[in-house]
Amino acid sequence: MAPAASAQEVSGEISFAWWGAEARNRAILEVVAAFEEAHPGVKVLPQPTEFARHWDRVTVQAAAGQVPCIPMMQTRYQVRYENLGALLPLDDLIAEGKIDVSTIPEELIEGHRNADGNLYTLPIGLWFETYQYNWTRLEPTGVGEPQNDWTYEDYIEWARQARTELDEGVYPLSQLGTSITQFQMYAQARGEDLFDGVEPGFSEETLADWFRLWATASEERLAPDMAMSAEEPTATPQTYMAQGITLSRTGGDVTASELQAVLNELDGSVVHQAKSPNGNNPLVSGSHTLAISTNCANVDAAAAFIDFWLNDEPAAVRLQSQVGLVPSASLLEAQAADPNSPPTLVDRIEMYTDFADTYGVRIDVWPDNTQHLVNEFRDIYQQVGFGQSSPEDAASQFAEEVRRSLALN
């Protein structure tokens, strides 16, 4: 194998676009600075923004053939840009040794391969869905901690018990009826899934049950009502759990650290996490990935940049998994052993390892033309929540939308 890119002479400018909040931006900029120090001839032009704007921007850039040299991608969204021809296949760069992936498990790499046989992205941070709850406020209620093999029916029962012990205006659950990701967990617990080839992977009955479950949760004041939920900010530091309005929420494990940072400032509450409620099914995991755009004029420097992210131990430690858990087992160990790593990060690493051993891991890559279903799902559930549609009609409507979307592929 040829020497890795980190050992090669590279120079010139490369643009790098990602999304994130303040803590992640700070950590990423530190890694960028470390890369520039290791490769003095390369200047990285950072283009940070927040999640939704990142995709809007990359979409426009893709249409114009001006995607930044290295766009951060995510497993749920990347297929669109791969199929569009906006990203460069990385297989040759790996074969030439410009990107060293030898420390990353092969099944993880293969999980990112496109149906056309090419590998367009490489994971730099894994995240997994968790159920997050405020243990400091939950403990005095005496209802106990959620368990890793729970389903959403178990959470509703748990919330009913917790509700009676909480102050007025505090809800045990967040309103999750609008979340397609959590519906995916619910469907998996019933042996179904979101997609099954060109058809929905769930039954309309399962979806209608999901809508009813959360309509009931609102009625019983276990979760905020639809109007409150509709105006809940999406950024983790402003969510209702961060404001103390709800006791729990769901999200990627990486957001738990952000949440903990906010609660540290607010009242010092401690956040605990359980596996997302899909029963005994494998942990649903996604990844933040790096790609090289087809319009990138400095591919060698871009390859060196990706290689640096995948293999540089000091950079990985400095990053503290702000983009997710590093995919290399040795770097993950180095992060866990680092005395500067915060306890929440060490917990996440242990949790991931434990869940992966117990339940297995499934990298969740969505088919093309399905990304907008996140918003469609939210809108359709809102119609149920506001009494504009019955659960059955809404379920039928959404299943039809899934079929229509998948038919475009």
Is 347 a binder of another protein (CB under 8 A)?
Answer: no
Q: Which stretch binds another protein (CB under 8 A): 21-29, 58-66, 122-130, 211-219?
A: 58-66
Q: Which of residues 255-314 bind another protein (CB under 8 A)?
A: none
| Chosen residue from 2, 29, 33, 52 binding another protein by CB under 8 A | 52
168 binds another protein (CB under 8 A): no
Under the binding rule (CB under 8 A), the answer on residue 49 touching another protein is no
Among 33, 60, 266, 297, which residue sits at the site for another protein (rule: CB under 8 A)?
60
Question: Judged by CB, which is closer to another protein: 35, or 381?
Answer: 381
The reply to whether 401 sits near another protein by the rule CB under 8 A is yes
Cβ at position 276, least distance to another protein in Å:
23
Point out which residues pair with 92 in neighbouring strands. none
Site membership for another protein, residue 21 (CB under 8 A): no
Rounded Cα distance, 287 and 53, in Å: 19
Q: What is the number of other CB atoms lying within 10 angstroms of the CB of residue 153? A: 13
| CB nearer another protein, residue 175 or residue 285 | 175
Contact pattern for another protein over residues 181 through 220, marking x by CB under 8 A: ----------------------------------------
The answer to whether 50 contacts another protein (rule: CB under 8 A) is no
List phi, psi (to 5°) of 272. -110, 160
- Taking the least distance from each CB to another protein, the nearer of 188 and 389 is 389
Counting contacts by CB under 8 A, is residue 388 touching another protein?
Answer: yes
Q: Which residues contact 102 (CB under 8 A, 6 or more apart)?
A: none
Write each residue from 219 to 258 as x if it is in contact with another protein (CB under 8 A), else as -, in one continuous string: -------xxxxxx-xx------------------------
Site string for another protein, 361-380 (x = CB under 8 A): --------x-xx--x--xx-
Tell me the three-class secondary structure of the chain, residue by residue: CCCCHHHCCCCEEEEEEEECCHHHHHHHHHHHHHHHHHCCCEEEEEEEECHHHHHHHHHHHHHHCCCCCEEEEECCCHHHHHHCCCECCCHHHHHCCCCCCCCCCHHHHHCCCCCCCCCCEEEEEEEEEEEEEEHHHHHHHCCCCCCCCCCHHHHHHHHHHHHCCCCCCCECCCCCCCCHHHHHHHHHHCCCCCEECCEECCCHHHHHHHHHHHHHHHHCCCCCCHHHHHCCCCCHHHCCCCCCCECEEEEEHHHHHHHHHHHHHHCCCCEEEEECCCCCCCEEEEEEEEECECCCCCHHHHHHHHHHHHHCHHHHHHHCCECEECCCHHHHHHHHHCCCCCHHHHHHHHHHHHHHHHHCEEECCCCCCCCCHHHHHHHHHHHHHCCCCCHHHHHHHHHHHHHHHHHCC
Taking CB under 8 A as the rule, which mask of x and - marks residues 79-98 in contact with another protein? -x---xxx------------
Q: Which of 277, 286, 385, 391 is the binder for another protein (CB under 8 A)?
A: 385
**Pick 63 or 329: Cβ nearer another protein:** 63
Nearer CB in complex with another protein: 67/185: 67
Q: Which stretch binds another protein (CB under 8 A): 2-10, 60-68, 185-193, 214-222?
A: 60-68
**How many chain residues touch another protein (CB under 8 A)?**
33
Provide the minimum distance between the beta carbon of 362 and another protein in the complex, in angstroms, as a whole number: 26
Encoding tokens for residue 157?
């029962």
Name the site residues for another protein (rule: CB under 8 A).
52, 55-56, 59-60, 62-63, 80, 84-86, 226-231, 233-234, 369, 371-372, 375, 378-379, 382-383, 385-386, 388, 397, 401, 404
